[in-house]
Amino acid sequence: MAIRTLWSPINEFVTLRDAMDRLVADSFINPRSTLTSLGTQSTLPANLYELPDSYIVQVALPGVDPDKVQITVQGEILSLKAERPAPTFERAQQIWNGISYGSFEQSFSLPTAVEGQATEASYENGMLVLKLPKVQNARAHTVKVTAGSAGQHRVLEQSSAK
């Protein structure tokens, strides 16, 4: 005999402790956050696009020397290290600051593993663009079914999607 569970609005309530845990986790334990040298928390603006055989990651890095950007790819993790030097203006007193300066590091989790050796990087107008090929077993495959005559087994063919 099967036991039926009925939906109840009471089950949708969240305890205060669960809500506070989620608030703290979202605020301080964000995997996309990083600690800059100034001690403020910030994240790099980034976009992730998926193609059948690769990912494209676009990261905004204005004011960063592209030759000094360190990119590490291992499995499903993409890590970036760079530095944005602070400008100096003679006899100027800073009133407010909305741009982070100094060294920073950030890691991004990708949906599947990628081939680090085949990664391509380009930098133009403050935008870093990375093309990260998926590992062979993570790429999409199409399966074609061919019909045979009655009584015979059907043959399955696999081909790589491009």
Domain extent for 106 = 36-86+100-135
More confident residue, 25 or 80: 80
pLDDT at 24: 75
Does residue 117 carry a pLDDT above 50?
Answer: yes
Which sign does the torsion angle of CA 117, 119, 125, 127 carry?
negative
Does residue 154 carry a pLDDT above 70?
Answer: no
Confidence band, pLDDT 50/70/90 cuts, at residue 59: very high
Tens of pLDDT, residues 74-110: 989 999 999 999 888 999 988 888 888 888 899 999 9
Of 96-100, 112-116, 130-134, where does mean pLDDT reach its minimum? 96-100
Q: What is the CATH number of the domain that holds 115?
A: 2.60.40.790
pLDDT at 87: 87
Assess if residue 150 is contained within a domain: no
Does residue 159 carry a pLDDT above 70?
Answer: no
Assess if residue 157 is contained within a domain: no
Assess if residue 76 is contained within a domain: yes
- The pLDDT > 70 percentage for the chain reads 69
Does residue 33 carry a pLDDT above 60?
Answer: no
Assess if residue 79 is contained within a domain: yes
Assess if residue 124 is contained within a domain: yes
Assess if residue 72 is contained within a domain: yes
106: CB partners within 8 A, 6+ apart:
32, 33, 34, 43, 44, 79, 80
How many domains does the chain divide into? 1
